[in-house]
Amino acid sequence: MEWERADLEARLCRALDISGKAVELFAENGYVDSELPENSFGADKVIAETAMLIYIASAAGSANVTRRVDEIAQLLLPHARSARMRLDMALHPALCLDFAFPHILLSELGYRDCAVDDFLKSCLSSRARHGHERPPFATAEKLWVEQLLTGEQPDAAWRHCLRNTVLNRGLDILGGQRDDAYALTHLVMYCTDFGFRAGKFPRKPALILDEAASLLAKCLDAEDYDLAGEVVLAWPLTATPWPAAAAFGFRVLARVEDAVGVLPGGTTRVDRLDRLQGPEKNRYAFATAYHTAYVTGLLCAASLRPRRAPPVEMIGPPFNARLLDRLVDRIECDQGHWQAEFMKLTRSEQEALGLFLLDIVIAQKCRKRDYAAVSELLVMADKYQSARSPLCGQAAELLERLAAYARTTQPRLIASN
């Protein structure tokens, strides 16, 4: 049984409504946070992200969504093709695709402007066009935008670029930085053109999705719902049947959104929200919450496409009941809204999530630096032939590195077990 379509559509419409307001508030001058400058962002960010949201939403196949997509496109058009945007393209030809990104997406949606196209082409013909250094995932992003612009299929340069990304090399799930994880989630978006094409990946998709599942376990433990939402997107974007872990992730996100009213990101500060009044309060609430609302919208838009809705029930391969009980006994209860949802599941659903639960508990123990418990979990998982996930492999390597570290710095720590 699939997630109810009307519910997915309502969540998407809510995200689209928020995006319309975000454009009104920030598409002119962005947002400046005087107390926490890292929360500040430019107008181009909200314009680009909103264009992306309506791009993916355009295929949802719903009149309510289509009407909103058109309304928001009309709001975006003057900003996406503003004199300032065109001047930026003229001044910075190596970044002109970045500035033109909303224009290109709007063109894909049928809102064309030949004059801007011609101007963009003139900027792209500049000698300085490639004069900007980008990490591999940002290069992949640029190549994807070029494909949208030219209509050309992914070529050798694209394949070469992907070979240097985490899609091919594998993600450092336990020790990586947050933007490494975003590199993975964004690359899936580019490879699949937000679900509009079958993605061609540098590794077997199953291996990438296994890493995504382990990453999701870490995100749910950390209550990082912004990132968790982007990770879950990997399944509907690749049109891969939802495994129990992804279906469970979707359910947790939906329940958290229902509880709060909007899927919470990590930047809204309740005390500050309490202090602010009137328009400033609205601006602060939108500036710090809109992005996670967009992630909900992306996820529901992708899930609304035919045969991509998440299942309501968690279904998976059998899992050893004794191991499941031992894992449940070891759950850290200090954080994680997933726990309440997990406890509501039937026993067979919990068993379907056995491997995922193992990943979560390992992530918890790593967070608490309880490496003795990680070691015990790996021994336990090996005994039941369940140490199969990328997170299990990376946890084993982490312990090996720590053991090597101990040998080099504190030889007395070495003790035979």
Q: Is 399 in the site for another protein (CB under 8 A)?
A: yes
Q: Which of 4, 6, 21, 32 binds another protein (CB under 8 A)?
A: 21
Q: Which residue has the tokens 């990304």?
A: 165
Residue 385 structure tokens: 């032939």
Residues whose CB falls within 8 Å of the CB of residue 99, separated by 6 or more in sequence, listed in order: 44, 85, 88, 89, 92
Complex with another protein: residue 221 or 309, whichever CB lies closer: 221
Amino acid identity of residue 293, one-letter, is A
CA 388 – CA 245 distance, rounded (Å): 14
Smallest separation, CB 41 to another protein (Å): 7
- Residue list 312-331, contact with another protein (CB under 8 A): none
Whether residue 132 contacts residue 98, with contact meaning beta carbons closer than 8 Å, is answered with no
Q: Say whether 36 sits in a helix, a strand or coil.
A: coil
Complex with another protein: residue 121 or 401, whichever CB lies closer: 401
CA–chain centroid gap for 131, Å, is: 29
Stretch that binds another protein, among 109-117, 182-190, 232-240, 307-315 (CB under 8 A): 182-190
Stretch that binds another protein, among 241-249, 306-314, 346-354, 392-400 (CB under 8 A): 392-400
Complex with another protein: residue 145 or 328, whichever CB lies closer: 145
Q: Is 55 in the site for another protein (CB under 8 A)?
A: no
Query: How far lies 72's CA from each of 8, 16, 126, 398, in Å?
Result: 19, 8, 32, 47
Stretch that binds another protein, among 55-63, 81-89, 311-319, 365-373 (CB under 8 A): 365-373
410's enclosing H/E stretch is none
Q: Which of 70, 108, 332, 370 binds another protein (CB under 8 A)?
A: 370
Residue 26 structure tokens: 């920030």
Smallest separation, CB 325 to another protein (Å): 21
Complex with another protein: residue 326 or 337, whichever CB lies closer: 337
Residues whose CB falls within 8 Å of the CB of residue 160, separated by 6 or more in sequence, listed in order: none
Q: Which of 167, 189, 324, 361 binds another protein (CB under 8 A)?
A: 189
CA 111 – CA 153 distance, rounded (Å): 22
Complex with another protein: residue 98 or 351, whichever CB lies closer: 98
- Residue list 264-283, contact with another protein (CB under 8 A): 264-268, 270, 273-274, 281-282
Q: Is 405 in the site for another protein (CB under 8 A)?
A: yes
Q: Which residue has the tokens 């939108």?
A: 286
Q: What is the dihedral of CA 354, 360, 362, 364, to 10 degrees?
A: -150
Smallest separation, CB 104 to another protein (Å): 11
Q: Is 2 exposed, middle or buried (0-12, 13-18, 19+ CB in 10 A)?
A: middle
Complex with another protein: residue 82 or 311, whichever CB lies closer: 82
- Residue list 136-155, contact with another protein (CB under 8 A): 137-138, 141, 145
Amino acid identity of residue 273, one-letter, is L
Smallest separation, CB 169 to another protein (Å): 15
Neighbour count for residue 179 (Cβ, 10 Å): 10
Q: Which residue has the tokens 């997915």?
A: 8
Smallest separation, CB 367 to another protein (Å): 11
Q: Which of 2, 5, 20, 196 binds another protein (CB under 8 A)?
A: 20
Smallest separation, CB 2 to another protein (Å): 26
Residues whose CB falls within 8 Å of the CB of residue 94, separated by 6 or more in sequence, listed in order: 128, 129, 130, 131, 132
- Residue list 293-312, contact with another protein (CB under 8 A): 293
What mask of x and - would describe binding to another protein in positions 211 to 250, judged by CB under 8 A? -----------xxxxxx--x--------------------
Residue 151 zone, left/alpha/beta (φ > 0; ψ -120 to 50; rest): left
Smallest separation, CB 291 to another protein (Å): 7
Query: Residue 94 has what DSSP assignment?
Result: G
Smallest separation, CB 42 to another protein (Å): 9
Complex with another protein: residue 101 or 342, whichever CB lies closer: 101
Residue 312: half-sphere exposure toward Cβ, Cα within 13 Å:
7
Complex with another protein: residue 87 or 403, whichever CB lies closer: 403
Smallest separation, CB 10 to another protein (Å): 13
Q: How many residues contact another protein, by CB under 8 A? A: 90
Residue 56: half-sphere exposure toward Cβ, Cα within 13 Å:
29
- Residue list 73-132, contact with another protein (CB under 8 A): 95, 98, 101, 132
CA 193 – CA 277 distance, rounded (Å): 41
